Amino acid sequence: MRFVRKLLSAVCAAALMTGTVADACTGIELIAEDGTVIHARTLEFGTDLQSEIVMIPRGYKRTGTTPDGKPGLTSVAKYASVGMNGAGLDVLVDGVNEKGLAVGLFYFPGSAGYMPYTEADAGKTLASWELGSWLLENFANTEEVRQNIGSVVVPEVVLKAWGFAPEVHFVVRDTTGTSIVIEVVGGEIKVHDAPLGVLTNSPTYDWHMANLNNYVGFSMTNRPPVQLGSVTLPGFGMGTGMLGLPGDFTPPSRFVRAVAFTQSAVPSATGPEAILNAFHILNNFDIPVGSARDGQKDANGNIQADYTLWTSAVDLTTRQYYFRTHENSQIRVVDLMKMNLDSPQIIKMPITSPEVIAPFAP
């Protein structure tokens, strides 16, 4: 990780050409009582990736990137999608398509083990950062993803702007509430059922699920007083059921915390209410500038610290993409189904805007 930070310092300007790497992202799923599924996440990085809202229309032609520079997998978008990119890229870091399939890309440092590649594989090859958009553009639900993910080769492809191959993994979910995690580990694509709907970063997804066994004593309700002889020890206040819940920003701790908060959340009645609930839950994962750093400074001597660039929540029923940014905490929304899904070109919308503080008077 220190090597990556040093490399990032050297190519900071070039790094702004990509929005696919983030160190501390947290993803969750909520399901409202009316059946609406919410896909929500944070995105963190150590510099502004200048993300935009991007709508990729039906008919968009995509060619994958290969390790040897040959044309990769070619495809034509069957479904339109909308979501976030980074600094002008034509791939989505996070998004939803017109069928209600959502995909989120998460950094996976030190854990990815990409597939072997030969020249004969070029026509079915995608770079890691292209996989999410390919899924959104071609499949309607998680079952279709399962059936087709084995048809692609995802090798180690160096992103020229960075000088190394970004390590990433994905969460995929649909309108039924089914979530899966896709990881390339040990040269193979592995698909995990994700019944709790949570994803963070390294280690592998199965490790995070096994780690939950360390927290079997946690409870949503307060613990009763403990009697020690003649001494009664009551809790100091609310929350004793989850006393000791890890509160740091490491991926294992965030995974545990995300499971605790989503599983204990009182179900929202409707999709709009669940959207707001998702933002409230993700408030607990918002990283202030300076709280997560490794001591490295950039070429100008500035401290490099990961922070939450933006937070999003997606209603998979309405295909509405809600978001807020570090600079503007106002929740904004774009409705995919009100856009021209057959647009002749990609539509990009900047999200930069200052915080608006409205005066309040009786």
| Catalytic (active-site) positions | 25
Q: Are 32 and 273 in contact (CB under 8 A)?
A: yes
Contact (Cβ atoms closer than 8 angstroms) between residue 179 and residue 197: yes
Could you give the CA distance from residue 205 to residue 62 in angstroms, rounded to a whole number?
29
Rounded (10°) CA dihedral 252, 254, 255, 261: 150
| Chain position carrying tokens 């200052």 | 354
| DSSP-assigned beta bridge partners for residue 103 | 95, 172
Cα(18)–Cα(310) distance, rounded to whole angstroms? 15
SS3 at position 225: coil
* String of DSSP letters for 22-49: -SS--EEEEE-TTS-EEEEEEEEESS--
SS3 271: helix
Using CB atoms within 10 Å of the CB of residue 264, give its burial: 0 to 12 exposed, 13 to 18 middle, 19+ buried.
Answer: middle
**How many angstroms separate the CA atoms of 48 and 28, rounded?**
23
Provide the angle, in degrees to the nearest 10, between the axes of the packed helices 251-264 and 271-282: 140
